[in-house]
Amino acid sequence: MLLRQYLHRFARQIEIPTVYNDLCRFEGVMPYEDPFGNETLWLTCMYPQETMHTLRTQLTRIYTELKIGGESGLHEHLTVDRIDFGDFGNSKPFRIRITNLYNDNSDYFYVKQADSSRIYGLELEHILSPNRINYLVNGNTLIEEHIAGVPGNVFQRDYLKRPELNRVRIAKEFTKFNERCFIRLLGDMRSVNYVVDITPDFEEVQYRVRPIDFDQQSYEGNGHTYLAYHFDSNRAVTRLAFGELNRRTIEQYVEEERSQMARRAKVENTRLRAVLGIMRREDLAPRAHVARLAKDLTKYHKTDIFRDCETMGELTATHITHMLGL
């Protein structure tokens, strides 16, 4: 399979334990509450003692591979502290909490079912966005590094009204985030599918919006799905952006993002062409979705270059090339 060859070439395909199916064999669950006692969508899993012993060894090995690329005695003091299951969406993820026994410091990674749409989404994020993505694949098991940040729904609920919030900067970043997702056709960026990374700078605070769910890469037929500001859950931050930025400023930030993405595309030209070439040959979505999205993009861009696209991969490649001037 061409995609597997691509993943092996770029060190994504690694012989790690294929643990997804084993993780599904829990014998019980209990609702997970956050440190403040609030209910979440996650369920903490319980396993038989022998099963947990095996999983602990396998998951620690995966974490070691993810972080340093192989076996190391430096990770013998790590343990699997908790396994949570997310019974939502179509990714059905497991969240693994790894804890350092020396100092109780914890880290997380995710185990998901591998599918081509999600893998293409991760690759395009790595190539075209300002963010690096660390993930591994083997068989039906996909391992993703934790992406730190405040969940979008929490950010809008708890941060937008804070007096110290730099409203212009978050408006600027959300505008750029919306453009990044649209250019590479990453859909369904509802507020629960991205996080806001908040970084104190020498004078002001910097913000970066990062997607954390990539299973709607080049799938939906409705063009609005690829515009984050169209989702009701983003209404508050969308209202803020349009209130803080005039049309001329929005156009400036959009052009800045396109220019930066075009530069990244040229630097990673070989890799980008390879992944788009493989995408073109896969049926990532029903033909009806392709036809509808081609129609929406034709109307949006006022061009007929999408008319003959037969797959979502072709649409994605054509859209990226058109918008970035490649």
Per-residue pLDDT of the chain (326 residues; tens, 9 = 90+): 899 999 999 999 999 999 999 999 999 999 998 888 888 889 999 999 999 999 999 999 999 999 988 776 777 889 999 999 998 767 789 999 999 999 999 999 999 999 999 999 999 999 999 999 999 999 999 999 999 999 999 999 999 999 999 999 999 999 999 999 999 999 999 999 999 999 998 888 999 999 999 999 999 999 999 999 999 999 999 999 999 999 999 999 999 999 999 999 999 999 999 999 999 998 899 999 999 999 999 999 999 999 999 999 999 999 999 999 98
Which residue segment(s) compose the domain that 203 sits in? 150-324
Residues 61 and 82 in one domain: yes
Residues 74 and 176 in one domain: no
Residues 31 and 171 in one domain: no
Whether residue 249 lies inside any domain: the answer is: yes
Tokens of residue 309, six digits: 């696209």
Whether residue 163 lies inside any domain: the answer is: yes
Q: Give the count of domains, the chain.
A: 2
| CA separation for the pair 166, 200 (Å, rounded) | 11
Q: Is the dihedral of CA 156, 159, 160, 161 positive or negative?
A: positive
| CA separation for the pair 79, 57 (Å, rounded) | 8
Q: How does DSSP classify residue 323? A: H
Residues 139 and 180 in one domain: no
Residues 190 and 253 in one domain: yes
How many CB atoms sit inside 10 A of residue 197's CB? Answer: 16
Question: Which strands, in side-by-side order, build the sheet including 106-113?
Answer: 28-33, 39-46, 78-86, 94-100, 106-113, 141-145, 135-138
Residues 141 and 155 in one domain: no
- For the entire predicted model, the pTM comes to 0.94
Residues 110 and 157 in one domain: no
Residues 261 and 310 in one domain: yes
Question: 3-class DSSP state for residue 200?
Answer: strand
Contact 67, 146 (CB under 8 A): no
Over its C-alpha atoms, the chain yields an Rg (Å, rounded) of: 21
| CA separation for the pair 18, 49 (Å, rounded) | 20
Residues 111 and 155 in one domain: no
- Residues near 181 by Cβ (< 8 Å), separated by ≥ 6? 187, 189, 211, 226, 227, 228
Residues 68 and 202 in one domain: no
Residues 98 and 192 in one domain: no
Enumerate the H helices of 129-268 as residue ranges.
152-158, 167-183, 235-244, 247-267
Spell out where 24-166 has E strands: 28-33, 39-46, 78-86, 94-100, 106-113, 135-138, 141-145, 150-151
Amino acid at 17: P
Residues 320 and 215 in one domain: yes
